[in-house]
Amino acid sequence: MKAVDARGLSCPQPVILTRRAIENGQFPIEVLVDTVTARENVRRMAEKAGCTVTMRAAGDDIALTISR
């Protein structure tokens, strides 16, 4: 599993890091974010790229698992 730690980064950085992982085909990808805005932006981008996204709470953070 490819891990992308985007906690503490402001948009669009979490989206850019996640897009790079998707383009490299490194699935599944787990993205850690710490804001609702980053969560929604990453989710929308991944779904537009044809991926499936599941979310879960990871302490104070949000973990998104992205797969094809």
Max distance between CA atoms of the chain, in angstroms, equals 28
Q: Can you give the residue range of the structural domain that contains 53?
A: 2-67
Q: What is the pTM assigned to this prediction?
A: 0.94
Higher pLDDT, residue 26 or 68: 68
Q: What is the mean pLDDT of the chain?
A: 96
What is the count of structural domains for the chain?
1
Output the domain CATH number for residue 7.
3.30.110.40
CA distance 57 to 68: 21
Task: State residue 39's pLDDT score.
Answer: 97
CA nearest 39: which of 20, 59, 65, 21? 65
pLDDT digits (tens, 9 = 90+) for 20-54: 999 999 899 999 999 999 999 999 999 999 999 99
